[in-house]
Amino acid sequence: MATSTRIDSTPFGMGKASTGWFIILVALLAVVGAGAYAYSRQIVEGEIVTGLRDVGPAGGAPWGLYIAFELWAVGIGFGAMMLIAASRLFGWSHLVPLNRILAVMALATLFIGGWSVIADVGHPFRAVINIIRYARPMSPFFGTFTVGLVAAFASMLVYLYLDGRREASIMATRPGRLRGWFLLASAGYKDSVAERIRRQRTNTVMAVVLGIIGVFAASTSAFVFGVQQGRPGWFGALQAPGFVILAGATGVAATILVAALLRAELGDRESFGPKMFKWLNNILLGLTLMYIYILLVELVTSSYSSSAHAERVTDAIIRGEYAWMFWLSSGLFLLTAALTAVQAIAGRYNLRYIVLAAVILNVAAILKRYLIVVPGLTVGRLLPYPEGSYNPTWVEYLVVIGLAALAIVFFMVFMKVFPIVSSQNGQESEGE
C-alpha cells in the first residue's frame, strides 16, 4: 500500500536537506535580509525613502505597492481557505491531498500580508496598539484586522494542527530526531474509531468555518475601498464580490504553482496527479471567467458614471496614465481564460500550460490590485487638488520581494519538519 511505503521511508523529503535545498534557503534568506535592510532604512529615515506621500497638497498616494502586495498576498490566503472548504464540502477528493499545502500557504501569505501593512504604516507599534485599543466595529479596518487577519490566522492554525495530528502520531512511532516533536504534535492521538469519527466531524465543521471566514475576510478587505463614498474610483458595490472571486482565482493559481513545484521536486506523481491539475485548471477557468465578467460590468458602469470625479478616475485608468497597466492586466486575464478554456474544451490537459496560466493570472492579479489601490488616491478625489503621482522606490520593491522570499522560506522549512501531504488522503477520499 502506497500509504505505508511513504510512512516507512521519510515521506516527502522530510527531515532530509540536500545541498541544493540549503543553497536555495541561503539565497532566500539573503533576499529576506535585503528586505529587512530596506525596511530598516524606512524606519531610520522615515517614509521619505518610499514613494508614499499624502494625498491632496502633497500630491501623492499614502498607499501603494505595500497595500497592493498585501491585497494580493492575503487574497491567496483567503483563496486557499475557500479551496479547502470547497474540496471538503463538495467532496472534491482529487484536491484533498492539497489541503495541508493550502493551509501552510494560507498561513504564510496571511503572515506576509500582515507585515506588508506594518511596513506601510509610519508608526507600526502605535498602529497595532491603537487598533486593538480603539478600532470601531463600523470601520472596515476593524473587519480586516479581526476577521481578515486574526480569525483567518487562528482558524488556519487550528485546522493545520488538527489535520496533522494523525500524521504526527504515525511519525512519532518511528525513530528519528523529530520523534519528540511528533509526539508533542500528536497530543495523545491513537487513531481509534472514535477519534476518526471526531476527525471527520471537525473536518466538516472547519471546512464550513474556513469557507465563511475566507469569504468574509476577502469582503472586509474590499469594504476598505468599496464603502469610501468620498473616494471616487473606490466606492462601489462590486468591490466585495470582485475581491472574493479574485482571491479564489489567485489562491487556485498559487496552488497550481506550488503543486507543480512539489510534483517536480518530490517526484510524487500519485499525490499530484493529472486529475488534480485538471480540476485546478477548470476551477481557475471558472473563477477567471467570473472575474472578467466583474471587470466588464465595472467598466460599463463606470463609463456611465454621473460624477465628473469618478469619470476622471475611469479616464485615467482606461486612457490615461494607468491605461497600459489596465489593458495589460485585462489582456492577461483573457489569456488565462483562453489557456485554461482550450484545455477544458479539448479535454487534453498539459501541465506546462496550466502552470503558465497560473503565472499569468498572478501577474494580472498583482497589476489589478495596484489599479484598485493607486488611481483612487492620485486621481480619485472630490477636492480641487492637482493630480497626484506615485512611483515605488527600491525600498518598497525590496521589502515586498523580501516578504515573498520569507513566505517561501516558511514553506520550505515546514516541509522539512512535517509531511507536506497527508498520508491519510486515500482513506479520507474513500470515506467521503
Using the rule CB under 8 A, is 142 a contact of other proteins? Answer: yes
**127 versus 338: smaller Cβ distance to other proteins:** 127
Q: Tell me which residues in 344-373 interact with other proteins (CB under 8 A).
A: none
Size of the site for other proteins (CB under 8 A): 34
**19 versus 192: smaller Cβ distance to other proteins:** 192
Instruction: Please list, residue by residue across 272-285, b when 16 or more beta carbons sit within 10 angstroms of its beta carbon and e when fewer do.
Output: beeebbbbbbbbbb
Among 1, 44, 138, 383, binds other proteins (CB under 8 A): 138
State the nearest-atom distance from the C-beta of 128 to other proteins, in Å. Answer: 10
Q: Tell me which residues in 151-170 interact with other proteins (CB under 8 A).
A: 151, 154-155, 158, 161-162, 165
Using the rule CB under 8 A, is 225 a contact of other proteins? Answer: no
| Contact range with other proteins by CB under 8 A, out of 34-42, 79-87, 114-122, 139-147 | 139-147
Over its C-alpha atoms, the chain yields an Rg (Å, rounded) of 22
Contact between 392 and 65 under an 8 Å Cβ cutoff? The reply is yes
State the nearest-atom distance from the C-beta of 371 to other proteins, in Å. Answer: 31
Grid look-up 489582456 returns 331
Contact between 116 and 415 under an 8 Å Cβ cutoff? The reply is no
User: Nearest-CA neighbor of 37 among 391, 393, 409, 402?
Assistant: 402
Q: What are the grid coordinates assigned to 85, written together?
A: 472548504
CA gap 256, 265 in Å, rounded = 14
**113 versus 241: smaller Cβ distance to other proteins:** 113
Q: How distant is the alpha carbon of residue 232 from its chain centre? A: 27
Q: Tell me which residues in 102-131 interact with other proteins (CB under 8 A).
A: 131
Using the rule CB under 8 A, is 299 a contact of other proteins? Answer: no
State the nearest-atom distance from the C-beta of 205 to other proteins, in Å. Answer: 6
Q: Is 364 helix (H, G, I), strand (E, B) or coil?
A: helix
Using the rule CB under 8 A, is 89 a contact of other proteins? Answer: no
Using the rule CB under 8 A, is 145 a contact of other proteins? Answer: yes
Q: Tell me which residues in 159-218 interact with other proteins (CB under 8 A).
A: 161-162, 165, 187-188, 190, 192-195, 198-199, 201-202, 205-206, 209
Residue 352: CB atoms within 10 Å: 8
Using the rule CB under 8 A, is 146 a contact of other proteins? Answer: yes
Q: Number of H helices and number of E strands within the chain?
A: 17, 0
User: Nearest-CA neighbor of 103 among 249, 203, 186?
Assistant: 203
**Cα separation of the two ends of the chain:** 20
Binding positions for other proteins, rule: CB under 8 A: 131-138, 142, 145-147, 150-151, 154-155, 158, 161-162, 165, 187-188, 190, 192-195, 198-199, 201-202, 205-206, 209
